[in-house]
Structure 1
Amino acid sequence: MTTVYDGHCHVASTHFIPRTFVEDVASNVCCYLGSRGVEQRPGRVADGLAAQYEDHLADGLVGEMDAAGIDRAVLLVPDFSLRMPGAPEPVAAARHHHEIRLRHPGRFWVYIGVDPRRGPEGVRAFEQMVDGYGLDGVKLYPPCGYSPSDPGLYPYYEICQTRSLPVFVHTGPTARSLDYGPAHPLRVDKAARDFPRVKFVLGHGGLTHVETSAYLASYRPNVYVDTGGFASGPMLPAWPEHLNRLFRLGVNHKIIFGTDWPLGRLNGFKGLMAEVLDGPTVFAGVSHKDRSLLLHENLLRVLAPRSRPEA
C-alpha cells in the first residue's frame, strides 16, 4: 500500500469561501463555455458552484479521501476577510477547523491564514490560535494585496521559526478581482533568505511559474514546491504528462504532492488519484524512492516534529 498525504486541500464550505471568490471563478467558467458557443448566465453558474460548497464539516472530503486512498491532508485556510466581504476572520476559521479535526481525528493538518495588515494584534491572535488549536502552519494569500516578504509578516515568521511551522504561499493566478503581481514566486525570495530556518512552500509552483519555482527550490534549501491544482488548470489538459515532466526536473526532494481539492472534485477524486498512482504516465521513469518523497515524505519533512503522525 502506498502512503499518500495531500498537501493542499480546502474545506468545500461557503463558511470559508466567500461568494465573491465563487463569482470570480464562475466568470472564468462562463468565458470558457462562451468560447465554445455555450452561453451561460454568470449568476446561474455561481449558484451551481456555491451549491458544491456545502461540506461544512468535511464529511464529504473524508469520504472522498477514503475512496481515493488518501490517508491525511493539509487544510489550507486563506484569510480573505480584509479583501472580500463575507469571509470569516481567522479566529473564527481556526475555531471551526479545530472542530473539524476533532470530528475526524488523525485526518487533517491545518494551516491558518494571516495578513500583515492586521498589525501586532494579528500576531498575538495568531500565537494564541497556535497554542489553543495546535495549528500546523501558516497560509499566505498575497493576491489579497501584500508581498510574502512584507516586513509586517516577519513577526509571524519569527514565531514559525521558533516553533518549526511551515509557511505555505499562494503563487500564480487566482480570482479575477485579486492582485496577481504579489503572487510571483520570486516575491518569496527575500523572506526565504531572511528566515533560512523557516520552510516556505510555493503553492501551485508545480503548475505555474514552474521554472522559477523549481530553481528557487533547487538553490534555496528552505523553499519547496507544491503541485496543487494540477488537474484543474485550463492550460493543462494533459496534466499526467505535465506532472511527469515536473518529476524529471531533479527537484523531487523538494516537491510536495497536493490536489487543491475541491477543484479536483469535478474530475472525480477517486479516478484522479487512480490515474496518479496507477496510470502509465505520472510516475513513468520515476524511482520508487522519489515516488515516496513526492507522495508523503517531503510533507513530513516540512511539518514540525510534533505534527508528524509518529510524534
Structure 2
Amino acid sequence: MPINCHCHIFSLECVPLAFRQRFVLDLRSPRQALAHRAVRAVLMPGVRLETWLDFTHLTTAQIAEALVAEMDEAGVELATPLMVDMEFSSAYPGGVKAYDEQIAETLAAVAQVNARSPAPRLLPFIGADPRRPGVADLVLGHLATGAFKGVKIYPVMGFLPDDERLYPVYAWCEAHRVPVTAHCENGGLPGYDGFYHLAAPENWEPVLRRFPALVLNLAHFDRTGTPWQATIEGLMQRFPHVYTDVSFDTEMFWMPGRYFANLHRVLRTPVLQDRLLYGTDWYMGRFLWSEKTYLTWFTRGARRIFWSPVRFTRGDLRRLTEDNPRRFLGLA
C-alpha cells in the first residue's frame, strides 16, 4: 500500500501571528474571522477551498484525524507528518505556540491515531532550527526515545543547512540511519521570497561531504528542467542516500503533460528511479486535491492527458509509492 512521505498536521497556532495577519488567517481578529465567514457564504458547498478553510479552525489532533480519514479513503498505509519550527522565522518572527507544546500535541495526536491500529499509521518528523537554544539536545533527546521517526529542516525560515549547530543532529542521524527531510523548492510559503535561496540544493553539498551517508530527502524536486532540479539529480547520483519527493507541485495541475513526462523519465533512469518518493504535502494543497485525488493523478489522470498521455506501469507506481518510501524510512 502507498506511503505518503510528506504531509503536515500542525495547527494554525504553530504559524507566526504576523504571517496569519498578513494572509487573513488570524481567526482571533474579528475582521479576519468575518472575512472567512464571508468567503464561505459565497462558496458552493463542498468545494475544495471551503474544505481547506475548515483546517484553519482545527486542532493538531483534529487535523491528524482528518488526515487518517483521507488516507483510509485513498488506501494509503502510512504517512510521515513533518513538524516545522517557525518561531525564529526571519520573515515573520515569533507569535507561535511554544515549541514544547507543539511537540507534545503532535505526539499525543499521533499516539491517539496509532493506538487504534495494529501497525503505526503516522510516523512524525521533528522540526529543527539551528537558532533554537539547545536545538541538538532537544532533537536528539526525542529521537533517542523513538518518539520521532526523522527530522525536518526548513531553511526558508532563515538559515543555511550547513549550520554547525545542526552538525550533532546530522551526525546522530547518519550514525543511526535516521532520515532527514528538507524543503528544497525555489518557492513555498508566500511572503518568504527573500529567503527561498537558502533552500537551494547546492547548500547541502558541504553537509553531504561531511556526512556522506546521511539519509536526506530534498523535498519537492523544484520544477521541471530548472537548475535546482538538475542539482538535486546530481546529488542523488553522487551520494548513496539522497532522495527527493513529488509533494505539492502545482505544475502537476497546470502543466500535467510536462510534469508527468519528467517523472516518467526519472522513474526510468538508473539510480534516480530508486530515490523518488511519493508525498502530497497534505494539507497545504488541500484546496486543489485530497489524498485520494492526488494519488489518482498518478494512477489514472496522467494517462488521460489527451495531448501527451503518460502511462506509469504498476512497477513504476510500486517503486514510487511503496518500495522507495520503505527504503527511505528504513522499513524495507
**Aligned in 2, Cα 1:81/1:221: closer, same or farther, shift over 3 Å?**
same
- Please give the per-residue CA displacement for 1:57-94, whole angstroms capped at 9, x wherever unaligned: 11111111111221111101011111232323443222
- CA deviation string 1:81-128 (max 9, x = no partner): 112323234432222111112111111111111111235x22111122
Structure with bigger gyration radius: 2
Is this contact kept in 2: 1:264–1:272, CA < 8 A? no
Unaligned 5+ runs, structure 2: 26-31, 40-51, 115-119
Contact 1:12 1:52 in 2 (8 A): no
What TM-score do you get using the length of structure 2 for normalisation? 0.77
Residue of structure 1 aligned with 2:15, choices 5, 14, 17: 17
Please state whether the residue corresponding to 2:138 is helix, strand or coil.
Answer: helix
Query: Could you say what secondary structure the match of 1:263 adopts?
Result: coil
SS for the counterpart of 1:8 is: strand
Aligned to 2:94: 85
Matches within 5 A, 1:232-251: 233=250, 237-239=254-256, 241-249=258-266, 250=269, 251=272
Structure 1: runs of 5+ lacking an equivalent:
28-40
Cα offsets for 1:32-57 (capped at 9, x unmatched): xxxxxxxxx9x947996664331521
Q: Residue 144 of structure 2 is aligned with which of 127, 131, 153? A: 131
Mapped partners of 2:21, 2:171: distance in 1: 36
Q: What percentage of residue pairs aligned between the two structures are identical?
A: 25
- Correspondence 1:283-294 to 2 at 5 A: 284-294=310-320
Residue 144 of structure 1 is aligned with which of 157, 178, 183? 157
Instruction: Name the SS for the 2:318 alignment partner.
Output: helix
* Superposition RMSD in Å: 2.9
* Whole-angstrom distance in 2 between the partners of 1:20 and 1:258: 29
What is the match of residue 294 of structure 2? 272
CA distance in 1, matches of 2:244, 2:76: 20
Equivalent pairs, count: 288
Give SS of 1:268's match: coil
In the aligned structure 1, how far is the partner of 2:260 from the partner of 2:18?
Answer: 31
Q: CA deviation at 1:175?
A: 2.5
Q: Which residue is 2:274 aligned to?
A: 253
Distance 1:139 1:47 in 2: 36
Q: Closer, same or farther in 2 for the Cα pair 1:162/1:286, shift >3 Å? A: same
In structure 2, give the amino acid aligned to 1:66.
D
Q: Does the 8 A contact of 2:7 with 2:282 survive in 1?
A: yes
TM-score by length of 1: 0.82
**Superposition deviation, residue 289 in structure 1:** 2.8
